[in-house]
């Protein structure tokens, strides 16, 4: 099975609340069960600085010229 996990925050990359804890733990638990998991999060500058192996898929204008 393959899972795309989409979240606005994932611990340890970015955390503002409890969502980041779940978004960090659940994909890891699924991977431990042999499931192919990919995480998709917004390209916040603070996140991009921490990630070494980045894959840029493109940009999307979502509101008032704000790209994600």
Total domain count, the chain? 1
DSSP letter assigned to residue 4: E
pLDDT tens, position by position, 33-45? 999 999 888 888 8
**What are the C-alpha distances in Å from 14 to residues 9, 44, 52, 64, 65?**
5, 9, 15, 24, 23
Determine the structural domain holding residue 43 and report its residue range: 2-67
Provide the pLDDT for residue 67: 56
Angle at 14 between CA 10 and CA 18, to 5 degrees: 60
Q: What is the pLDDT of residue 66?
A: 60
Of all residues in the chain, the percent with pLDDT exceeding 90 is: 50
DSSP state of 64: T
Bridge partners of residue 2, in order along the sequence: 36
In a 3-state reduction of DSSP, which class is residue 44? coil
- Determine the pLDDT at residue 68: 55
Question: Which residues of the chain register pLDDT less than 70?
Answer: 65-68
């Amino acid at each position: 099975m393959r899972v795309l996990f989409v979240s606005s925050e994932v611990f340890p990359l970015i955390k503002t609340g409890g969502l980041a804890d779940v978004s960090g733990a659940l994909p890891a638990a699924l991977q431990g069960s042999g499931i192919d998991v990919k995480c998709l999060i917004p390209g916040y500058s603070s996140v991009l600085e921490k990630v070494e192996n980045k894959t840029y898929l493109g940009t999307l204008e979502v509101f008032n010229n704000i790209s994600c």
